[in-house]
Structure 1
Amino acid sequence: MASICLIIKKNMNRLFLLLFAVALTNCTDHKEDNSVDIEKILSQNVEKTKETLKELTPDQGFARNIPNGQTNWELVGVKDWCSGFWPGVIWYAYEASGDEQLRLQAEKFTEPLKTIAYSAAENHDIGFMLYTSYGNGYRLTKNEEYKNVLLAAADTLATLYNPNVGSILSWPSQTQFRHNTIIDNMMNLELLFWAAKNGGKQDLYNVAESHALVTMKNLVRKDSAIYHVGSFDETTGDFLKGQTHQGYADESMWARGQAWGIYGFSVAYRETYRKEFLDTAIKVSEHYLNRLPEDGIPYWDFDDVDIPNVPKDASAAAIAACGLLELSKFVKNEEQSKKYVSAARRMINLLSEAPFYSGDTNQALLLHSTGHLPHKSEIDVPIIYADYYYMEALLRLQKMDEDNSTELAKS
C-alpha cells in the first residue's frame, strides 16, 4: 500500500511540474522555442573579449579580421573604416557585465579615434568609426568630452554633403562613380540625427533626412533589392546609374547591403517619422526574409549563380537582426512586430551555435562573414563588424526579454 501511495505521489509531483512548465511557457510566449541562453552567451562573449584584451593594446591597432589558418585578429590603424567596431565591442561587453576594467579598456581604445572628428573628411565612414566608439561611450558614461567629439564628428561628416544631389559623398577617392552614395552610408546618418538633437547644428537633421530620401528614391529598386552604389551628376543631381560594387552583379541582391537598408531606413523613420521611410524599411525587410535560404543565414549575395557552393555572410545576419528589432518597435501591426522580433531571434539563435559561433576557434565571436568577394578580400572569415552587431542584437534581445518579464509580473 505504501509503495502505491509513493507512486501516486511521484506521479502527482510530475503532473504538477508538467502543469507548471506549461503555465510558464504560456506566460513567456515572447521567447522562441529552442532559444539560446542569451545571458550565458553574453557572459561567454564578455569573457572572450577580456581574454583578447590581454593581448591587444591601443598602440597596436584595432581588430579587423582573422585570416584562415590564424587565431588572432589582424589589426588596422585609426583611419581604417572598421576602427570603431572593436572599441564598440568592448563598450557592449562593459554594458553586458558592468565590469569596470572593461570600461577602462573601452576608454583606452576609444581615445585614439578622436583625431577623426577634427580632421578633414576622407569618406562617409565617420559614423561607423565614431558613433560605434564615442557614441556608445557617451551613451553609457555621459562623458561630456565624448559628446564634444561626436558633435565635431557630425560637422566633419556633413562637409561631404552635396546640396545639388541632396546626399553625402561616400567615397571622395572613387571618382569613377562621380558623386557616389552607397547604401552603407544610411548607417552614418544616426550620428547626424543625434547631433541635431544634442546641441549640434539643426542643418544636420536636414542633411540626414535629404540623404535618406535620395537613397530611398534611387538605390532601392522596384524589386525591393538595393543597389550598393548610386552615381549622380554632381552639378545637376541627376541619377546616372546604380551598381552593386561588392555584390555578384549590379542587379543582384548583396546580402550586407540589404541589411544596411533594413537597419538604416528603420532609424530614418525613428528620427523623422516620415511614413515613406517606414514603408521602405518594411519593403526591404520583407524581401530579405522572403528570400532567406532554409537554414536562415544568407549567402553573401542572394543571386550568386553558384549557390549553395558560395560563402555565407554572418555579418549580414547580425546587421539584419539589429535592423528588424529596431523596425519591430514602429510597425503598427502587433503580429508584424512579433514576426520581426521572431525572425531576428532566430538569426541570433543560429549565430550562437555551430557553425557560426566561434567558441574556442579563435579570438572572434562569429565565423563565416564575407567582406568583398569580387575583390577576393575577407572571404568566409571572422570580421569585426559581425561581432559588433551580434553583441548589439544580443543586448537588444536581453532588454526586450527583461521588459516583457516586467510587464508579465505586473499583469
Structure 2
Amino acid sequence: MKRRFHAIISGILFLVTIQVQAQSGDWFRHSVTVIGEQLTRAAGTYTPGFNPRSVNPNGNVRTAPYTDWTTGFFPGSLWYGYELTGNKALATSARRFTLALDSIRYVTKTHDLGFMLYCSYGNAWRITNDNTYLPVLEEGAQHLYDRFSPKTGVIRSWDFGDHWKFPVIIDNMMNLEYLYWAGQQFKKPVYSQAASTHALTTMKHHFRKDYSSYHVVDYDPVTGNVRSKETHQGLTDESAWARGQAWGLYGYIMCYNNSGNPQFLQQAQHIARFIMTHPRMPKNKIPVWDFDVHNALDSDGRAPRDASAAAVIACGLLDLSTKVKDGKKYADYAEDILKTLSSPDFLAAPGDNHFFILKHSVGAFLYNSEIDTPLNYADYYYLEALKKYAALKKIALPLK
C-alpha cells in the first residue's frame, strides 16, 4: 500500500512538473520530458518487429512489420530519445527494437531501405560504433544501389503499379543519405555518385518553375526519357503535396552537406522560399496536407494539418540555416514550427495518444488512410529537429 501511495504521489508530481514547464515557456525542456515518458511507455507496450506506425479510426494501433516502409522510425526515435534524455533504458530498448529488423537485409523490392535501415541501424551505429550493426547496413546499401539505373539517372522507387515503367517519387531524396554514408563507410564511391546523380536528375524533372514538386515522375527505362509527371498522395497531379515539398527541402540540403555541390544548396533555398512564402501556409506554420487543398475536407469540414510535413520542414530549415549568410530567417521559422509542435495542440500529454509523441498528421488523404492521426515518422523527424535545434542553440544534451 505504501509503495502504491508513493507511486501515485510521484505521478502527480511528474504531471505538475511538466505543467509548470509548459506554462513557464520552457517548451524545449517540457517537450523532452514528454518524449522520455512516451517512448519509455511505448517501448514497454509494443513488440519488437511490429513497431507502432499510427492509429486506426477504430482506435487500435496500426503496427508495422519489418517489411513496412515506416518500420525503422520507432527504433530511430528510441535512439534519438536516448540522446535527448540520457535515459539508458531507452538505449537498451532501441537496441532491442533495432536488432529485430535484421531481416530487412534481404529486402530488395523498395527504395525505402534508407527509411527502414538508416533511421534504425544507421542511428544505432552512429551512437554506439558497435560493429554488430554494420553487416545489415552494408547489405541494405548494396540493395538500394542496385535500384539505380545509369540510363534514367535515378533510383527506382516502386516495383508496383500497372501503368508505371520506372516510377520515382520525391520521397526518394531522403534515402540518398544512406547511400552517401555507405559510400564512405564501405569505400564504395559509386554509391555517392549514384546519390548525386539521382539528386541532379530529380532537380531537372521533378520541379516546376515555382520550385514546387511533382510527387511521381515515371521514366522510360530503355530511353531514359520522362513518360509522365503525376501524383499518388497529393490532391492533383499539379498540386503541391505538403510532405513532398518537405522531402525535397530536407533532401537537397542533405545532399549539399554530403557532396558540397552548390546546386543543391541553391535548390534547397528555392524550395524553402516556396514553403515559407506560400499564401496558404497557416499562421502557426503547420501546413495542410496539400498546399493546394480547397475542398478535400475531413468529417468535421476542415482540411487536416500534417505535423509530419512540418517536422521534416523544421529539420531542413535548421540545416539550411547553418550554411548560408542569412540563415537566421530559416532558424527562426523552424523554431516557430517546433514551438507549435511542442504546444498542447500537437504534443501529446504523457500516457495519451497511444504513447505516440505528436498528434495530427496525414498519411494518404485520398485513400482515406491515416488522416488526422499520430504517425511514427512525424515523431522521428520532430525528435531529429529538436536535436538539431539543441545543437544550433548550444543546449547541452542529454537534457537532465
TM-score by length of 2: 0.88
| Alignment partner of 1:400 is 2:392 | yes
2:106 counterpart of 1:113:
no
> Pick from 270, 295, 318: which aligns with 1:283?
270
Corresponding residue for residue 51 of structure 2? 62
- For residue 72 of structure 2, what is the amino acid of its counterpart? G
Match of 2:16 in 1: none
After superposition, the Cα gap between the structure-2 partners of 1:371 and 1:84, relative to the gap in structure 1 and judged at 3 Å, is same
Which range moves more in the overlay, 249-258 or 238-247? Answer: 238-247
Q: CA deviation at 1:403?
A: 6.4
User: Whose Rg is larger?
Assistant: 1
- Secondary structure, counterpart of 1:173 in structure 2: coil
- Give 2:175's aligned residue: 188
How far did residue 355 of structure 1 move?
A: 1.6
Query: In 2, distance between residues paired with 1:142 and 1:98?
Result: 17
**Residues 1:339 and 1:356: Cα distance change in structure 2 (over 3 Å):** same
Aligned to 2:194: 207
Indicate yes or no: 2:288 matched with 1:299.
yes
- Which structure 1 segments of 5+ residues have no match? 1-33, 405-411
Q: Is residue 373 of structure 1 aligned with residue 368 of structure 2? A: no
The separation in 1 between residues aligned to 2:192 and 2:98, in whole angstroms, is 25
Q: 2 CA distance for matches of 1:139 and 1:270?
A: 17
Which of 312, 315, 338 lines up with 1:319 in the alignment? 312
Q: Distance in 1 between matches of 2:323 and 2:34?
A: 32
- Separation in structure 2 between the aligned mates of residue 226 and residue 187 of structure 1, nearest angstrom: 14
User: Could you tell me how far 1:198 is from its partner in structure 2?
Assistant: 1.1
Q: Which one of 380, 383, 393 corresponds to residue 391 of structure 1?
A: 383
- Count of matched residue positions in the alignment of Structure 1 and Structure 2: 366
Change (3 A) 1:359 1:105: same
1:390, 1:310 → 2: CA distance? 22
1:7-406 aligned within 5 A: 36-59=26-49, 61-68=50-57, 70=59, 73-117=61-105, 119-291=106-278, 292-306=281-295, 309-331=302-324, 333=325, 336-360=326-350, 361-362=352-353, 363-402=355-394
Q: Per the alignment, in what secondary structure is the counterpart of residue 71 of structure 2?
A: coil
Q: Which letter does structure 1 place at the counterpart of 2:164?
A: F
1:281 & 1:242 partners in 2: Cα distance?
Answer: 21
Corresponding residue for residue 30 of structure 1:
none
Question: How far apart, CA to CA, are the structure 2 residues paired with 1:88 and 1:176?
Answer: 35
Partner residue, 2:15: none
Instruction: Name which of structure 1's ranges 283-292 and 198-207 shifts more when overlaid on structure 2.
Output: 198-207
Does structure 1 conserve the Cα–Cα contact (< 8 Å) formed by 2:27 and 2:342?
Answer: no
Q: Deviations for 1:279-337, whole angstroms, at most 9, x for unmatched residues?
A: 11100111001112223110000101137821110000001000111111212x2xx20
Where does residue 24 of structure 1 map in the other structure? none
Shift of 1:175: 4.2
CA contact (8 A) 1:41 1:352 kept: yes
2: distance between equivalents of 1:194 and 1:36? 35
Distance in 1, matches of 2:62 and 2:160, equals 25
Superposition deviation, residue 268 in structure 1: 0.7
Question: CA offset at residue 35 of structure 1?
Answer: 6.0
Report the secondary structure of 1:63's partner residue.
strand
- The SS at the match of 2:373 is coil
C-alpha RMSD of the superposition = 1.8
Give the whole-Å Cα distance in 1 for the aligned partners of 2:115 and 2:173.
10
Q: Which moved more, 1:123-132 or 1:308-317?
A: 308-317
| In structure 2, distance between residues paired with 1:128 and 1:45 | 21
TM norm structure 1: 0.86
- Distance in 1 (CA, whole Å) between partners of 2:193 and 2:101 is 26
Q: Structure 2: any 5+ residue segments left out of the alignment?
A: 1-23
Identity %: 39
The whole-number CA distance in structure 1 between the counterparts of 2:25 and 2:266 is 30
2:5 maps to: none
The separation in 1 between residues aligned to 2:26 and 2:340, in whole angstroms, is 9
State the alpha-carbon separation in 2 of the partners of residues 284 and 152 from structure 1.
Answer: 33
1:174: how far off?
Answer: 2.4
After the TM superposition, which of the residue ranges 359-368 and 304-313 deviates more from structure 2? 304-313
- Taking the aligned partners of 1:234 and 1:227, their CA distance within structure 2 comes to 19
Instruction: Tell me the secondary structure at the aligned position of residue 362 of structure 2.
Output: coil
